Structure 1
Amino acid sequence: MEKSTSIWNRVVYAVNILIAFLLILTGVISYVPLRFFSAISVLSLVVPFLFAVNILFLLYWAARLKRKFLLSFTAVLLGYLMFGPFYGLGNNHVPQKESSDLKIMSYNVWGFNKNGWMEEPGVGDSIIEFVKKHDPDIFCVQEHNRARYQQLRQYPYRSETPHPNKRATQAIFSKFPIISSGSLDLPSTQNNIIYADILFRKDTIRVYNLHLQSFKIRPSTDNFSDGEKSERTYKRLVHTFSKQLEQAEIFRKHFENSSYTNIVCGDLNNTQFSNIYKIVKGDLQDTFLEKGKGFGRTYDFWKIPLRIDYILADPEFEVLSHQNFNERLSDHYPVMATLRFNSHQ
C-alpha cells in the first residue's frame, strides 16, 4: 500500500512540476515582445486554469503536510507578481459627476447586429437605447455600423475609420470638440486603430480606439479534440498572436509620439496575461484593476469568461469608477469608466 501511494505521489508531483513550470514560463514570456514566442504565448489564454490547478496542488500537499506545497506556492506567488490581480475588489458605485470628470464607454457592438447574428428583434436599437441611458461623454465603438450615427445625435462630434479603408469600422463619438483625428495602417488585416484629439475644457486629450486581430474561432469540442482540427486551431491561434503583436507594436510606436494626455480604449482580443496587453498598456492605468469588481468579463469563450476589452488611462487621470455590464446585445459586453482630469483639481 505504501509503495502504491509513493508511486502515486511521484506521478502527482511530476504533473505539479509541469503545471508550475508552465505558469512561470507564461509569466516570463508575457514580458518578451518577440513574435517567435507566439507558439508559447498561446498559453496566456489558459493562465486562470494554471493558477487554479496550482492552488489545488498547493492544497493537496499542504493537507498531507508535505513541503512539496512550496513548489505551487512559489509558482502562484511569482505568477501574481508577474500578472497582477485579475479579480477586482471594487464596487459599482459611480460618484456624483463633476465638471472635471469624463465618462467614457468602450463597446464592440458587432455591427449593431446588422447581419442578424443575434435572433432577437431590434438588437441594434437596444444598443442605442443602452448608450443613451448611460450617457457617456465619449463613446468608443468597435465593429461600427456607419448608418447608426443618426441615432446618436447627442454626440455632435465623431471620428470614424476612413471610408476608402476596407476594414472593420471603428468610431469615436464625443460631446466635446474633436480638433484632429487619424487612422493607423495595420498591414494585411481587416482590423483598425483610430484616434481623436479632443478639446476637453482647456486641455487636449487623445483617445485611441483599438480593434486588434480576432481569433475567429468558433468554440466547439471538435476544434480541441479532433486531431486535424486541433492542429488547425492551434496554428490559427499562433498566427493571431503574431498579428496582434505586430499591431500592438505599431500602436506603441505611434502612442510614444503623442504629446497629449491619453486614453486607450478597445477590443484587444487578448487577455491581460498576454504580452500584447502589456505592450498596449505600458504605464497606463487599467480602470478595471483600479476600480473594477469581480472578473471583469467582457467576452464569453466556450462558456469561459474572458476580459479582452479595456479602458486604459494616463496617470494624469484619477480613476473614479469602472463598470462591467451584463447586457447581451453583442458577442462582447460593454465597459465604462469615470475619470477625473487632475489638471482641473
Structure 2
Amino acid sequence: MTLWGKTVYGLNIVFSLALLLACVAQYMKSATLSFLSLPVPVLVISNFLFLLYWLMVQPKRLWLSFIILVVGYFSLGSFVQFNTGEAYDDNALKVMSFNIQGFEGFPRNYDRPIVPEIAEFIQKENPDILCLQEFGYYGLRNEVFTKYPYSFTNYEVGSHEKGVLMAIYSKYPIINKGDIEFQNSLNGASFVDVLYQKDTLRVYNLHLESLKVRPRSLKRERSDRLLGRLRNSFAKQQEQADLIRQHMNGVGHSKIVCADMNNTQYSYAYQELKQDMADTFVEKGNGYGRTINFWKFPLRIDFILTDPNIEVLAHKNYKVSLSDHEPIMAVLQVVSDK
C-alpha cells in the first residue's frame, strides 16, 4: 500500500478496535471503558465509511470493518428503529418520563420558570403516570398538575435537603412509596406502587449520576480534570445501577422504569437495569430516538423499561424545546397475572 493507504488502514484499525471494545464495555463494570458508550453511532458510521472506501479502492481490505460491523450489530443492536405503533383504546396505560430541568426552560432561564408551558404540554398529552426528573421547587410551591389526584415527591415544601427533586404523578391510587438514596450524590431515585385495575405496578423514577459537563467551560478546563470527573461519574452510574437492580429483584409485582440514565443504551448501567425488560423505544419507537444533545451530538439517554408481561403498544419521542431533555411516552397494555 501507499503511505496514504497505510494511514487510512491504520485509522480503520483504530476505529474498528474502538467499536469492538464498545461491544464488550457494556457488559463490564469499567468506568474507563464507559467512555466508549457515548460515541457508538460515530464508530458505526466511521466503520461503514471505511467499508465503502475499501470497496471502491481495495476490496480485500474491507473485511475488517465488515466483520466488526456484524459483531456490533448483534452485540449492540441498531440505534435507529423503524417500528410502527399499534392501535390502542382508552384502557391502555400511558406513561411519560421527562427531565424538566427545574422548570427553567431551554435555553435555561433562571428568572422566568416555564411552569405554565410544561403544565400545558403535559395536560395536552395526558399521560396516566408521569415521572419527572429535576422537578424543581416551583412545582412544590404550586399545584401544577391538578388532573393527578395522587403524587409523590422526594422532598417536601420548605425542606432543607439538598439534591435533585423527583416527582411521580398518577391518575391511579398510590398505595406505597419510597426513596432510594445514592451515596455521595445529589442524584437519586424514587418509586411508587400504583393500584392499576386488578394489578399492583411498581414504578421507578431514576436519575443516575450526571456527567457534570458544561460546554461553555470546556475550553477553560484541563483535560485531565475533565476526564477524571467523567470517569468518576461513570463509576457512580454503575454503582447506582447495581443498587437499583438489587432493589428491583426484591419486588414481586410488575415493574416499569422511567429513567434519565445520563448514559446511552450501550452502557453497563443500561444493561444492568434492563436485563430481561423491554425498552419501549426498541419495541415501538421510530427513528434515532434522541432525547438530548450532548456537546451538540444527539444521544438517547432517557428510557422507559417494562417487565415482559407488559405489552408495549406505542412509543413516542417529542420534539419540544421545554428543557435540555426531550420527553418520551410509552403506551402499555398490562397483562394481568390475577
Shift of 1:96: 3.5
Matches within 5 A, 1:60-139: 60-91=53-84, 95-99=87-91, 101-113=92-104, 117-118=108-109, 123-139=114-130
CA distance in 2, matches of 1:153, 1:133: 13
Structure 2's unaligned 5+ residue stretches are: none
Q: Matched residues in 2 for 1:145 and 1:7: separation? A: 57
Deviation at 1:146, TM superposition (A): 4.7
CA distance in 2, matches of 1:316, 1:66: 47
Distance 2:274 2:337 in 1: 24
Matched position secondary structure for 1:216: coil
Asked if residue 304 in structure 1 is aligned to residue 300 in structure 2, the reply is no
Aligned mates of 1:78, 1:11 — CA distance in 2? 24
User: Residues 51 and 184 from structure 1, CA distance in 2 versus in 1: closer, same or farther, beyond 3 angstroms?
Assistant: same
User: Equivalent of 1:141, from 132, 138, 142?
Assistant: 132
Q: After TM superposition, give the deviation of residue 229 of structure 1 in Å.
A: 2.1
Among all aligned residue pairs of Structure 1 and Structure 2, give the percentage whose two residues are the same amino acid.
Answer: 41
2:12 to 4, 9, 16: 16
Q: Distance in 2 between matches of 1:212 and 1:25?
A: 23
Seen in structure 2, the aligned counterparts of structure 1 residues 23 and 144 have a Cα distance that, compared at 3 Å, is: same
- CA distance in structure 2 between the aligned counterparts of 1:73 and 1:128, rounded to whole angstroms: 48
Question: Is 1:291–2:287 an aligned residue pair?
Answer: no
How far off its partner does 1:234 sit? 1.1
Partner of 1:168 in structure 2? 164
Superposed displacement of residue 136, structure 1: 0.2
Match for 1:206: what amino acid? R
**C-alpha contact (below 8 Å) 1:170/1:193 kept by paired residues:** yes
Q: Does 2:231 align with 1:238?
A: yes
Of 158-167 and 118-127, more deviation after overlay is shown by 118-127
Q: Could you tell me how far 1:83 is from its partner in structure 2?
A: 1.0
**Separation in 2, partners of 1:45, 1:115:** 23
Aligned-residue Cα RMSD (Å) equals 2.1
Q: Look up the equivalent residue of 1:95 and give its one-letter code.
A: A
Task: Kindly state the Cα deviation for residue 94 of structure 1 after the two structures are TM-superposed.
Answer: 6.7
1:65 Cα deviation after fit: 4.1
Contact 1:162/1:183 (8 A) holds in 2? no
How far has the Cα of 1:7 moved from its partner? 2.3
Give distance in 2, aligned partners of 1:116 and 1:48.
Answer: 26
Of the candidates 38, 56, 64, which is equivalent to residue 45 of structure 1?
38
Q: CA deviation at 1:118?
A: 3.0
- Counterpart pick for 2:3 among 3, 7, 29: 7
State which drifts further: 268-277 or 141-150: 141-150
Structure 2 CA distance for aligned equivalents of residues 147 and 7 of structure 1: 62
1:57-96 per-position Cα deviation (integer Å, ceiling 9, x unaligned)? 10011112421101001111111111111101124x5734
1:214-273 per-residue CA deviation (whole Å, 9 max, x = no partner) reads: 1111125x72x77x6222211111111001111111101101111110000020000111
Structure 1 pair 89/179, CA: closer, same or farther in 2 (3 Å)?
same
Cα pair 1:161 1:192 within 8 Å, conserved: no
Amino acid at match of 2:87: P
**Do 2:100 and 2:323's aligned partners in 1 also have CA atoms closer than 8 Å?**
yes
CA–CA distance in 2 between the matches of 1:151 and 1:116? 22
Match of 2:241 in 1: 248
Structure 1 unaligned blocks of 5 or more: none
After TM superposition, give the deviation of residue 40 of structure 1 in Å.
Answer: 2.0
| Contact 1:118–1:330 (8 Å) recurs in 2 | no
TM-score of the superposed pair, with normalisation by structure 1:
0.91
SS at match of 1:333: coil
* Worse-matched range after superposition: 140-149 or 295-304: 140-149
SS in 1 for 2:265: coil
CA distance in 1, matches of 2:69, 2:260: 28
In 1, are the aligned partners of 2:210 and 2:262 still within 8 Å (CA)? yes
SS in 1 for 2:39: helix
State which drifts further: 211-220 or 128-137.
Answer: 211-220
